[in-house]
Amino acid sequence: MMTRTDIGRLLDVRAAEPTVLSLYLRVPRDPAALRGLPARADELLALAGSGGAGDPDAAAAQDAGRRMAREMLEVHAPEWLGRTVAVFASGEPRLAQTVVLPCALADRAVFATRPHVRPLLVALQRPPGYDMLAAGRPEQVPGEPRAALTAIGLQPCLAAVNQRAARLLIVPESGLTPGFLCQRCTMLSSTGTDCPDWGAASLAVPDLIEEMVVTALRDGARVQAVRNPPGGVAAWLRFPLNATGEPALSAATA
């Protein structure tokens, strides 16, 4: 059974270029329908694009990841009938891992510098047999005291994560939001213009929400994935945000 410790091990995998493939794929229940699975996988892999890889070596590494994923599906798909499976593949750093999820989630493929784990967090929060695609009932956002400090929307929540102020980060279950990560100070941005190091150290990332999740988890925050979070993304704060980008330490201990 998958645990947060397992997710943490995946996050220890890191590549210099976006060459780590994460493929989430729903395997049909009918064995006869497996014939169409390679085409569906190829469609998702094509949608994943290059993930921002800009040199021939990175492109070759991505092709290797695609081949590894196809081989794992070819061998193991009959064991996964009716299940959603996560396939993680990379030639360098070496990674070839599959995780059978306890619930049904949407198909997606992502190339990034590390495994894309947000769907795994969603799966951990859902009861066995939950079907994200069939669920239509509105979902309640986790409650906090009325006086709790909050940040609503992408930009305020980016500030919260960058200032290490998030106590609870509430993110959408699905969707990808491109953005930027500074490789020197680790600041996250939607525009790539908010950090003095931009241009010299900026790295395009395929999913800014994923980077926010990873940063928040490493800072000890809780993360909750829901279908429609307030403002697209929201955060319950440890202390007030300020305009300088530096944590408000006095408020944190107030």
pLDDT of residue 136: 46
Q: For residue range 10-20, what is the model confidence (pLDDT) as tens digits?
A: 989 999 888 99
Least confident of 50-59, 146-155, 221-230: 50-59
Phi, psi (5° rounding) for residue 157? -75, -30
Specify whether the CB–CB gap between 233 and 157 falls below 8 A: yes
The pairing of strands 166-172 and 222-226 is parallel
Mean pLDDT of 51-72: 85
pLDDT of residue 140: 52
Instruction: Please say if the pLDDT value at position 244 is more than 90.
Output: no
Q: For residue range 136-181, what is the model confidence (pLDDT) as tens digits?
A: 444 555 555 444 689 999 999 999 999 999 999 999 988 899 999 9
The pairing of strands 188-189 and 108-112 is unpaired
pLDDT of residue 107: 95
Residue 203: pLDDT band (50, 70, 90) is confident
> Which one-letter DSSP state was computed for residue 127?
P
Residue 197: pLDDT band (50, 70, 90) is low
pLDDT of residue 247: 41
pLDDT of residue 250: 33
Instruction: Please say if the pLDDT value at position 253 is more than 80.
Output: no
Instruction: Please say if the pLDDT value at position 212 is more than 90.
Output: yes
Q: 89: which strand partners?
A: 21, 96
pLDDT of residue 147: 47
pTM of the model: 0.81
Percent of the chain with pLDDT over 70: 82
Q: Which amino acid, residue 48?
A: A
Domains and CATH numbers, the chain: 4-125 (3.30.960.10), 150-248 (3.30.1330)
Percent of the chain with pLDDT over 90: 55
Residue 34 buriedness (CB in 10 A; 0-12 / 13-18 / 19+): middle
pLDDT of residue 185: 85
Q: What distance in Å separates the CA atoms of residue 236 and residue 234, rounded to the nearest whole number?
A: 7
